[in-house]
Structure 1
Amino acid sequence: MLERQASRSARRAREFEAFVAGAAGRLLHAATLLTAEAPDDNPRARHLLTLALAHTYAHWDRLRGEDPYDRARRHLVDRFARASWHRYGGFGRARPHPAGTLARLTPQERLVLVLRLYEGVAEEPTAALLGLSADRVRAVCDRATATLLHPPRGPAAAGPAAAAP
């Protein structure tokens, strides 16, 4: 009995280690995009990844054919959404130290953009995961993409033509 349990635990640990070896890098990158931190300085993203992997490991035996990557990603997204809601009082724009390219987006825009474009999740599953309608997901994704492709212009610099009398 104890040998069987030890064997099962060892197999579980090997399976999870193989999963982490294959998925942790991509999940960390997704978390870094969500938090808009710099890739080399991403403590919030690493914390989100640790929580997602711990949750996945705790439920490893209950996956029953469910994709462990999908489970970890769902938990990562859920933790980010809840943390953003509590930290900023909703999906507002306030960020203490924007660093990454996606920093000018709201947390909701980052969530939708990362799920749709980086992770390749379709509109319907994204909408279900975030509790939004598919139309709302499409609108948020379009707005976020437009914001990134056409950043707001800064004040016009005085050129040589403006300086001439």
Structure 2
Amino acid sequence: MRERHASQGARRAREFEAFVAGAAGRLLHAATLLTAEPRDDNPRARRLLALSLAHTYACWDRLRGEDPYDRARQYLATRFAREAWHRHGGFGRARRQPAGTLGVLTPQERLVLVLRLYEGVAEEQTAALLGLPAERVRTICDRATATLLHPPGRPARPVAQAEAAAS
């Protein structure tokens, strides 16, 4: 009996290690996009990844044919959403913008954009995961894409400074 449990535990550990070897890089990149941290300095993204993988490992035996990557991605997304909600009092603009390219977006816009465009999650699945209507997800994705394609300009310099710079 003991040998069988040990054998099952070893098999479980090997399966999970193989999953992590194949999925951790992509999940970390998704987490880095969500947090809008630089790729080489991303402690929040690494924490999200660790929590997501720990959750996936905890329910590994109960997956029963379910894709572990989907489970890990769902946990990553919901954990990010929960932290953003508590950190910023909602999904509005953060008090200070993250430095990354996606830093101009709100946490909700980043979440929808990463799920839809980077991860390729269908609009309906994204809506169900976030508890939003599909039309709202489409609107958020469109607005985020437009913001990235046409970023808000810097504030204009006062006329006196502009004239002084021109001369």
- TM tier, shorter chain? over 0.9
The CA RMSD measured in Å over matched residues stands at 1.6
Map of 1:139 onto structure 2: 139
The aligned residue for residue 58 of structure 2 is 58
- Could you list the runs of 5+ residues in structure 1 that have no partner in the other structure? none
Q: 1:21–1:159: structure 2 CA closer, same or farther, 3 Å change rule?
A: farther
What is the rounded CA distance, in whole Å, between the counterparts of 2:140 and 2:163 in structure 1? 37
Q: Deviations over 1:99-131 (max 9, x none)?
A: 110001000000000000000001000000000
1:149 and 1:97 map into 2 onto residues whose CA distance is: 18
Q: Secondary structure, in 3 states, of the residue corresponding to 1:64? A: coil
Q: 1:6 to 1:89 in 2, by over 3 A?
A: same
Which residue of 2 is the match for residue 2 of structure 1? 2
Q: Percent identity?
A: 79
> TM-score, normalised on structure 2?
0.93
Q: Write out per-residue CA displacement over residues 41-93 of structure 1, whole angstroms, 9 at most, x where no aligned residue.
A: 00000000000000000000000000000000000001000000000000011
Is structure 2 residue 31 aligned with structure 1 residue 31? yes
SS in 2 for 1:92: coil
What residue is the counterpart of 1:150 in the other structure?
Answer: 150
- TM-score between both structures, scaled by the size of structure 1: 0.94
SS in 2 for 1:3: helix
Aligned residues: 163
Letter in structure 2 aligned against 1:67: D
**Structure 1 match to 2:72:** 72
The residue type equivalent to 1:51 in the other structure is L
CA gap 1:13/1:159 in 2 versus in 1, 3 angstroms: farther
- Secondary structure at the aligned position of 2:55 is classed as helix
Moved over 6 A (4+): none
CA apart distance, 1:96:
3.8
- Gaps of at least 5 residues in structure 2 are none
Q: 1:24 to 1:95 in 2, by over 3 A?
A: farther
